[in-house]
């Protein structure tokens, strides 16, 4: 299982990196839309949709939503200048952040709070859209930052986010396996331990420290980024747990099976769905 | 493909008319109140056609036909020269602003009245609501509603055709009982029946209100005899002829009528079947291969035949048309009842009596536009009126972003004497946009599910 997981990761990670750096903006946006579309497909069973037509309808609506945002808020107009983001995009990011705060509340009160949303499919669908659609916006916001001046600046930012999430994942996995004892949220996900969570945070911070050292960051920059890193890694666990919670409620184990050893696309992007909007908003608010 | 283009064209025409009407309402009242209108746009996005009038207003037809806007001079948005200050929207009294904003939805209601008026003048061919059968042990059966009678009144509302009956019934969802009045075709005596609807429940997307109560409308008799055979259809190729009486399918006897056969033949897409027919007094067995066609994502067998059916008896048909004056009152009545019905529905949506599954979006509207345009002009008029009313009502919802949201702000201004603070308005707009987006997403999802079956 671990071997398969590593092999898939070794193929997937470089593919993701290539896409981030070398795909032209249009194709990047389209690819992202497809990935999120697959995520929406996998969200279907979490809402209790068994019929294909219902799942396709959910995917189609998700794609129309993203398509509408794409048309109305063209990626090239997202940033009015290098520091000022289009107010609609800011609003969308805030909505996403508000949703994740709310979702954290749902998790802490799980399973008591689930009586409300487990009964209403439309509410779960809404949750799905809140999880998936802003992710696309956040990715585009990060990718197009300062695009006019430097086409790779946004790619680097995105890469940084990926590395943070990945190192947190890897750190959490191994530290949790080695010394994990105290369960983080047994009601939602029995596999996650508090030690693993700390391991993830520490390993991401290490990564930031190495980057800061190599890029000669000022101490002020370093502290800002370190704080953001702690926030992002925490939020990344939130994204993970959020999906676990919906899977648990729906009685689903893996959300899909396209990625050997990793389950579905949703399992892979769950941390990113939470971190990308938070990261984008942090960058808009604090910069560095 | 033709269907798609037809639906799309009807949709664009219908929506184009309704958006123009709505925006023209704003435009007209704004100008009457001395507001300078900078742009009158039908459609959003990229301009396809533009022309600047002598009045200085720019008239635009834009690409995305899902709406439009009237851009009025406003100091909060534009740089306004001293000379034009009194021509701005924001300087007008709150009453004037209310009038300008309300004019859009009201133009839609007025248009609905006009469309219905034309429709009633021309006259709508319809069928009298005559009960064909009552489902045993249904609510209607318990109320001892007889069959072969004409329904003349439902819950106090006169009913001349099935649409009236259905509309009246839908308006009574949630009521404890419904009184239905009927009369025999040959007498004037009206009898009254009380249906107890305490436990009446149904999902409108599956069955009509009527069938859920146990009332089956009268339909002319249909026979299992072929009346028409499509050119180059699988039936023609298999040697079926007009006048053949269908006896058996793969040696299994078919029951009288048409439903049994039409149901069974669907199970054989691209699969040869033996059809036994009676022709000129003797039985023949024909080998026919129904073509597999896609129906809502399912492969079904298709033969290309239609059955012989009795005509509607003349006394069952009715052409509902009115005189010049009665058509006016009737169209106002119809518009009013649709307005109240829509508000009722929205209320029930909020209380949860009606599921969000019943929301329809642009795809359903496009299909409706295409279908109604296909039936004929009067039906398209009726459809336009219906959608116009809906457009007006949706715009009156107290959601910021919509006309209703602006009206809400102005009403608050009227009560408190000062405008709602800018930042509260701004926050409201964002919340409103989100709520609207959520509603539209659900509607769109419903549309997709319906189209995909």
Stretch (H or E) spanning A39: helix A25-46
Lowest mean pLDDT among A201-205, B30-34, B218-222: B218-222
Q: Which residues contact A90 (CB under 8 A, 6 or more apart)?
A: A281, A284
ipTM given for this complex: 0.70
Contact B438 A61 (CB under 8 A): no
Contact A64 B449 (CB under 8 A): no
Q: What is the pLDDT of residue A261?
A: 66
* C-alpha radius of gyration, chain B, whole number: 27
Residue B72 has pLDDT above 80, yes or no: yes
Residues of A with CB under 8 A from a CB of B: 53-54, 56-58, 60-61, 64-65, 71, 91, 95, 122, 125-126, 129
Q: What is the pLDDT of residue B222?
A: 84
pLDDT band at B185 (very low <50, low <70, confident <90, very high): confident
Lowest mean pLDDT among A110-124, A127-141, B166-180, B315-329: A110-124
Q: What are the angstrom distances between the C-alpha of B254 and each of B4, B249, B263, B265, B304?
A: 36, 7, 11, 11, 18
pTM for this prediction: 0.67
Contact A126 B444 (CB under 8 A): no
* Domains of chain B, earliest start first: 103-123+321-453 (no CATH), 124-220+311-320 (2.30.42.10), 222-308 (2.30.42.10)
Model confidence over B86-131: pLDDT tens digits? 889 988 999 999 999 999 999 999 999 999 999 999 988 888 888 8
Residue A74 has pLDDT above 90, yes or no: no
Contact B449 A71 (CB under 8 A): no
Q: What is the pLDDT of residue B40?
A: 93
Distance from CA of B438 to the nearest CA of A (A): 7
**Average pLDDT of span A29-50:** 90
Report the relative pairing of strands B317-320 and B252-253 from DSSP bridges.
Answer: unpaired
Q: What is the pLDDT of residue B295?
A: 64
Give catalytic status of residue B236 as yes or no: no
**Average pLDDT of span B424-442:** 83
Model confidence over A227-261: pLDDT tens digits? 999 999 999 888 888 888 888 888 777 666 677 76
Q: What is the 3-state secondary structure (H, E, C) of chain B?
A: CHHHHHHHHHHHHHHHHHHHHHHHHHHHHHHHCCCCEEEEEEEEEEEEEEEECCCCCEEEEEEEEEEEEEEECCCCCCCCCHHHHHHCCCCCCHHHHHHHHHHHHHHHHHHHHHHHHHHHHHCEEEECCEEEEECCCCHHHHCCCCCCCEEEEECCEECCCHHHHHHHHHCCCCCCEEEEEEECCCCCCEEEEEEECCCCCCCCCCCCHHHHHCEEECCCCEEEEEEEECCCCHHHHCCCCCCCEEEEECCEECCCCCHHHHHHHCCCCCCCEEEEEEECCEEEEEEECCEEEEECCEEEEECCEEEEECCCCHHHEEEECCCHHHHHHHHHHHHHHHHHHHHHHHHHHHHCCCCHHHCCCHHHHHHHHHHHHHHCHHHHHHHHHHHHHHHHHHHHCCCCCCHHHHHHHHHHHHHHCCCCCHHHHHHHHHHHHHHHHHHHHHHHHHHHHHHHC
Q: What is the pLDDT of residue B296?
A: 56
Stretch (H or E) spanning A89: helix A87-108
Neighbours of A172 (CB within 10 A): 28
Q: Which residues contact A184 (CB under 8 A, 6 or more apart)?
A: A192, A193, A194, A196, A197, A237, A241
Q: Rank A261-270, B98-107, B388-397 by mean pLDDT and report only the highest.
A: B98-107
Report the relative pairing of strands B273-279 and B282-288 from DSSP bridges.
Answer: antiparallel
**Average pLDDT of span B139-159:** 88
The strand pairing partners of B228, in sequence order, are B306
Q: What is the pLDDT of residue A63?
A: 94
Q: What is the pLDDT of residue B24?
A: 95
Q: Residue A55: helix, strand or coil by DSSP?
A: helix
Residue A124 has pLDDT above 60, yes or no: yes
**Average pLDDT of span B182-202:** 83
Burial of B416 (0-12, 13-18, 19+ CB in 10 A): exposed
**Searching chain A, which residue's CA lies closest to the CA of residue B45?**
A72
Model confidence over A137-159: pLDDT tens digits? 999 999 998 888 888 888 988 99
**Residue closest to A164 by CA, chosen among A209, A133, A130:** A209
Residues of B with CB under 8 A from a CB of A: 45, 64, 297, 356, 430, 434, 437-438, 441-442, 444-446, 448-449, 452-453
């Amino acid at each position: 299982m671990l071997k398969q997981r590593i092999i898939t990761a070794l193929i997937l990670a470089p593919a993701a990196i290539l896409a981030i750096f070398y795909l032209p903006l249009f194709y990047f946006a389209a690819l992202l839309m497809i990935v999120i579309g697959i995520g929406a497909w996998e969200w279907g069973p979490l809402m209790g949709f068994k019929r294909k037509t219902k799942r396709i309808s959910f995917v189609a609506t998700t794609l129309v939503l993203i398509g509408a945002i794409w048309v109305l808020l063209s990626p090239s107009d997202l940033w009015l200048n290098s520091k000022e983001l289009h107010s609609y995009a800011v609003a969308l990011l805030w909505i996403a952040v508000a949703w994740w705060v709310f979702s954290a509340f749902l998790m802490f009160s799980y399973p008591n709070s689930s009586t409300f949303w487990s009964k209403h499919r439309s509410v779960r669908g809404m949750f799905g859209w809140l999880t998936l659609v802003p992710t696309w916006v956040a990715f585009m916001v990060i990718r197009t930052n300062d695009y006019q001046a430097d086409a790779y600046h946004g790619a680097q930012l995105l890469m940084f986010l990926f590395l943070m999430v990945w190192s947190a994942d890897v750190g959490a996995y191994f530290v949790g396996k080695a010394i994990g004892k105290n369960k983080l949220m047994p009601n939602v996900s029995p596999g996650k331990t508090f030690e693993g969570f700390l391991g993830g945070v520490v390993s991401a911070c290490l990564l930031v420290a190495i980057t800061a050292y190599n890029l000669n960051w000022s101490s002020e920059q370093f502290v800002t980024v370190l704080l953001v890193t702690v926030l992002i890694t925490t939020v990344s666990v939130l994204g993970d747990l959020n999906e676990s919670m919906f899977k648990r409620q729906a009685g689903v184990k893996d959300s899909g099976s396209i990625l050997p050893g990793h389950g579905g696309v949703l399992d892979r992007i769950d941390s990113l769905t939470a971190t990308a909007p938070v990261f984008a908003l942090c960058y808009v608010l604090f910069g560095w | 493909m033709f269907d798609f283009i037809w639906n799309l064209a009807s949709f664009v025409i219908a929506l184009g008319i309704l958006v123009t009407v709505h925006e023209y309402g704003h435009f007209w009242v704004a100008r009457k109140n001395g507001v300078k209108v900078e742009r009158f746009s039908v459609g959003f996005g990229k301009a396809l056609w533009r022309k600047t009038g002598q009045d200085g207003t720019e008239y635009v037809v834009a690409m995305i036909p899902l709406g439009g806007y009237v851009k009025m001079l406003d100091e909060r948005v534009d740089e306004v020269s001293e000379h034009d200050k009194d021509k701005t929207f924001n300087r007008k009294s709150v009453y004037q602003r209310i009038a300008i904003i309300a004019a859009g939805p009201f133009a839609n209601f007025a248009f609905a009245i006009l469309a219905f008026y034309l429709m009633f003048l021309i006259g709508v061919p319809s069928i009298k609501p005559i009960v064909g059968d009552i489902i045993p042990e249904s609510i209607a059966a318990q109320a001892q509603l007889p069959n072969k009678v004409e329904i003349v009144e439902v819950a106090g509302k006169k009913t001349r055709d099935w649409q009236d009956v259905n509309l009246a019934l839908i308006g009574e969802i949630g009521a404890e009982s419904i009184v239905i009045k009927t009369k025999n075709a040959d007498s004037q005596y009206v009898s009254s029946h009380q249906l107890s609807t305490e436990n009446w429940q149904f999902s409108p997307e599956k069955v009509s209100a009527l069938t859920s109560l146990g009332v089956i409308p009268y339909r002319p008799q249909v026979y299992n005899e072929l009346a028409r055979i499509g050119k180059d259809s699988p039936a023609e190729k298999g040697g079926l002829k007009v006048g053949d009486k269908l006896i058996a399918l793969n040696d299994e006897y078919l029951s009288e009528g048409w439903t049994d056969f039409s149901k069974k033949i669907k199970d054989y897409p691209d699969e040869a079947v033996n059809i036994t027919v009676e022709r000129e007094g003797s039985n023949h067995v024909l080998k026919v291969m129904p073509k597999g066609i896609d129906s809502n994502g399912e492969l079904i067998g298709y033969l290309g035949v239609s059955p012989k059916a009795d005509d509607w008896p003349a006394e069952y048909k009715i052409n509902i048309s009115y005189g010049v004056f009665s058509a006016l009152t009737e169209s106002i009545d119809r518009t009013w009842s649709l307005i109240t019905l829509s508000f009722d529905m929205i209320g029930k949506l909020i209380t949860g009596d009606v599921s969000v599954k019943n929301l329809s979006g642009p795809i359903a509207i496009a299909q409706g536009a295409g279908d109604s345009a296909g039936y004929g002009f009067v039906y398209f008029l009726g459809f336009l009126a219906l959608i116009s009313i809906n457009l007006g009502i949706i715009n009156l919802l107290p959601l910021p972003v919509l006309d209703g949201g602006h009206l809400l702000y102005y009403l608050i201004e009227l009560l408190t004497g000062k405008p709602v603070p800018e930042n509260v308005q701004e926050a409201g707009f964002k919340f409103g946009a989100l709520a609207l987006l959520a509603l539209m997403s659900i509607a769109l999802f419903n549309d997709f599910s319906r189209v995909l079956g």
